[in-house]
Structure 1
């Protein structure tokens, strides 16, 4: 089974949704037959890092809400993160552009480290409050998952893998992705949002059953057809066929 996940590293529910899916996979009997691939999606392609900009103030300004309302929303997100074992440092979060982070994941995939790189980026952004648009920060994070520093810096300094990021973002638009996280199972079944683990487990089981069930033909002939036929016990010849 293939699972494609459209997400952004600045999306708090993408990390939470990732953990909930992982929890569901722990209870899924066919988990060893599941492959996961992260797809690129930018919540705000025009985002820029503003040093010293408080995340609550950023949310309040972006969504036209009061600062108090933004703080309450942040607390709710932190609580949901805590429930799946994550610690979010929202006070020191460094909101920024994530395009190069997505390019880095595409590079990491070529080296067989795509899932590890995605996990490291989420943790760096939300738990460690690192600036994941900074190339030296990305170099260090990539090195931690086993990637070559020089190759990483050369990639980031170029336009390499930009094409793949843009293609995945375009595909997201084509299939109707309106927000992230967005999960696609076997290119047929979609689940939107950071659903509870039980919902993911139910989806995994349903997709597995649908994709692996034996085809059952529906007969269109009468229950006792007046025609000749053979079985492993012999042949029957109806009068009308003589």
Structure 2
């Protein structure tokens, strides 16, 4: 099984595993975009988003609030869970994101991930990824409703009828499962997770400086700097093309 394609001489490929239901994944997206804006060759970076479900068994309809879900998961009190949410909201704000966990509706993200694969075929993967993250974490949209997903896909530029057909048929369900199998093969247990150039892995929503350093590292390895000649401006005697010009004695 091919896990991902390494970078080519013309492109740096960045594979990113993330879940729509992951607050740190939206922060990681913003920080990567910040790193990309500072990178010297942004037009030569190809980004591919991969599916990852933090909880594949999550129900589509959940009566549990975000606060109560965190309290149960981590064995905290509701007040402590609220403090966790407030901290995350503050972190997101520093990266220009406006989280509203009080409006968030927990759901299963499997169908949403399928639409991201459909969007990839039309060059709209990043646009839809952004729209879904914002809808879930900032706007309180219920992503467990296929009609909501179709509307959001349309807002991102996809054809609504095509998006609805993709959800009804499940044509992209296997693509989601393949992404998750790749993540397991790579030992990815948390997201966001970045793989740069098929070689370097960066785990978590690292600062933009870390991601920029990784981009520069891959670039330097795939695009070595030309040699700088030292010495006099005029070339000294040497051997070229398999021959050596040896002056004859007079």
The counterpart of 2:244, out of the listed 231, 234, 237, is 234
User: 1:99-110 to 2 correspondence within 5 Å?
Assistant: 99-110=110-121
CA distance in 2, matches of 1:189, 1:215: 24
User: 1:59-70 to 2 correspondence within 5 Å?
Assistant: 59-70=70-81
User: 1:148-227 to 2 correspondence within 5 Å?
Assistant: 148-213=159-224
**CA deviation map 1:47-77 (0-9, x unaligned):** 1144552211111012212212211111111
TM-superposed deviation, 1:234: 3.1
Is structure 2 residue 101 aligned with structure 1 residue 120? no
CA distance in 2, matches of 1:80, 1:212: 35
CA distance in 1, matches of 2:144, 2:217: 39
Unaligned 5+ runs, structure 2: 1-11, 228-237
- 1:43 is aligned to 54
Q: How many residues align?
A: 225
- 1:224 is aligned to none
**CA deviation map 1:185-234 (0-9, x unaligned):** 11111100000111111111111112212699xxxxxxxxxxxx934793
> TM-score, normalised on structure 2?
0.85
- 1:223 is aligned to none
User: 1:4-15 to 2 correspondence within 5 Å?
Assistant: 4-15=15-26
CA distance in 2, matches of 1:133, 1:5: 23
- 2:7 is aligned to none
Is structure 2 residue 100 aligned with structure 1 residue 84? no
Task: Give me the CA root mean square deviation.
Answer: 1.9
| Contact 1:49–1:94 under 8 Å retained in 2 | no
- 1:222 is aligned to none
| Contact 1:142–1:149 under 8 Å retained in 2 | yes
1:174 to 1:215, Cα distance in 2 relative to 1, 3 A: farther
CA distance in 1, matches of 2:164, 2:43: 34
